A = this chain, B = another copy of it.
Amino acid sequence: MDCRADGRTADKLRPFILDRDVPGAAPGRVLVRAGNTTILCTASIDEEVPPWLAGKGKGWITAEYNMMPGSTAPRKRRDRGVKLDGRTSEIQRLIGRSLRAGVDLSAIGERTITVDCDVMLADGGTRTASITGGFVALVEALRTLEDFAGKPLPLVDTVAAVSVGIVDGKALLDLDYREDVRADVDMNVVMTGQGKFIEVQGSGEEATFDQEQLFALIALAKQGIAELTQKQRETIGLSGLKLR
């Protein structure tokens, strides 16, 4: 198998780091790095749920995604005062939906946990790294709640994500920015630690793909997510946690 610009084989992840030693006031904080891509994930807890969920004894998890001004050169403009662009809105809906699939919302009380994903350096795969890192920040935040002191956390399973794509006709795992730009097909896959799918989003921009390619991409993603799950478990020590 030929190697890529950075020497990786087609089925190899970029170096992946989850760093929990980050300054901040939010109860959950993780700096996630996938190659150059660097994202600050913080999870904050609000003792209220959105109005439409009030009084149902259930909690809520939501996410916000943001490219910091220094995350790209030239500088990324802030989205202050302008309407949220479609891409950002789509990404943060995906992150929120994915994280909710990993938590037993009926067991966290009438609270909202907001996971903020602020991209410090963007080099491809920011939405999937946000999910993988955001899940760890979310677990950290849950750990600060007295309700769960000495008890298993209300987790269904771990949640991790990776991007795959077809570049020059070849299926690649974990695309960096240069590969992403050249990809004919781009797919994001979100899975649980036990290998169930949460989300599959494959899309050909001015291109199409056949069923064989679709299945090859899915296989590649499964393998990558298995590795990321392992990193998550090491970081948050879930081995000792009973998943619900």
Q: Mark A191-214, 1 if CB is under 8 A from B, else 0.
A: 010011111111111111111001
Instruction: Name which of A23, A81, A195 has the most chain B CB atoms within 10 A of its CB.
Output: A23
Q: A209: which B residues are within 8 A, CB to CB? A: 196-197
A55 within 8 A of B: no
Q: Mark A64-98, 1 if CB is under 8 A from B, else 0.
A: 10101111111100111111111101101100010
Chain A contacts with B in 1-48, Cβ cutoff 8 A: 22-27, 29, 33, 36, 38, 40, 42-44, 46
Tell which of B44, B75, B206, B211 touches A70, judged by Cβ atoms closer than 8 Å.
Answer: B44
Instruction: Name which of A22, A46, A78 has the most chain B CB atoms within 10 A of its CB.
Output: A78
User: Are A101 and B206 also in contact (CB < 8 A) when A86-B89, A86-B93 are?
Assistant: yes
Q: A66: which B residues are within 8 A, CB to CB? A: 78
Find out whether the CB atom of B218 lies under 8 angstroms from the CB atom of A25: no
Find out whether the CB atom of B75 lies under 8 angstroms from the CB atom of A114: yes
Q: How far is the CB of A144 from chain B (nearest CB, A)?
A: 10
Q: Mark A87-130, 1 if CB is under 8 A from B, else 0.
A: 10110110001001100010000000010101011100000000
Find out whether the CB atom of A208 lies under 8 angstroms from the CB atom of B202: no
Find out whether the CB atom of A198 lies under 8 angstroms from the CB atom of B192: no
Q: How far is the CB of A212 from chain B (nearest CB, A)?
A: 11
Find out whether the CB atom of B69 lies under 8 angstroms from the CB atom of A44: yes
State A39–B1 Cα separation when bound (angstroms).
Answer: 44
Find out whether the CB atom of A204 lies under 8 angstroms from the CB atom of B208: no
> Which residues of A are at the interface with B, using a C-beta cutoff of 8 A?
22-27, 29, 33, 36, 38, 40, 42-44, 46, 64, 66, 68-75, 78-87, 89-90, 92-93, 97, 100-101, 105, 114, 116, 118, 120-122, 157, 187, 192, 195-211, 214, 218
Q: List 5 A-B contacts (CB under 8 A).
A: A70-B116, A80-B84, A101-B207, A196-B209, A199-B204
4 further A-B contacts with Cβ under 8 Å, apart from A23-B38, A25-B70, A81-B84, are: A25-B71, A86-B90, A86-B92, A101-B208
